[in-house]
Amino acid sequence: MTTQPFATGNLPLPRWAYVPGETGEANADYETLAQVTSLVPSRFGGYVPARHPALRYGIALNDRGYFWESQEILEAVWAAAPQGGRERILLRACILIAIVNAIWADGELPPVANGPAT
């Protein structure tokens, strides 16, 4: 397995990027994702630390093109975030970015060169 010391620490990157609709869901690298989701507590106390390894890993996955995997990890962090906290709003935005990136990478979303149509 490949490891990236930058934002993922000693956590391995998934062995492949899962692309919904192209491969069966059984082809996702659940083993690697389980290593990271096991680091997420059932509930964060008060706030989600910005340096929490699962949070940093989820964002790093999106940066490296593992969009579906990023969404899975960030959703686990979101579920443990305090209800009504600002972190939940920011995590939801990060999750939506990962979803849009996956759609864009799949070719379903046209690139916007000059901004939105008026």
The domain in which residue 83 lies consists of 25-105
Question: Do the domain assignments include residue 63?
Answer: yes
In a domain, 117, yes or no: no
* 42 within a domain of the structure (yes/no): yes
Per-residue pLDDT at 10 = 84
Is position 20 within any domain?
A: no
CA–CA gap between residue 40 and residue 35 (Å, rounded):
10
Whether residue 62 is contained in a domain is answered as yes
Q: How far apart are CA 20 and CA 65, in angstroms?
A: 14
Residue 69 lies in a domain: yes
Locate 68 and state its tokens.
């579906």
Give how far Cα 29 sits from Cα of 12, 18, 49, 64, 88, Å. 11, 7, 26, 15, 26
Quote the pTM value.
0.81
Number of domains in the chain: 1
Outline where 1-118 has alpha helix (H): 30-37, 53-63, 67-80, 86-105
Q: Is residue 110 part of a domain?
A: no
**What residue type is 89 in one-letter code?**
I
pLDDT tens, per residue, the chain with 118 residues = 454 444 567 899 999 888 877 766 567 889 999 999 999 999 999 999 999 999 999 999 999 999 999 999 999 999 999 999 899 999 999 999 999 998 888 776 666 655 555 5
Residue 67 lies in a domain: yes
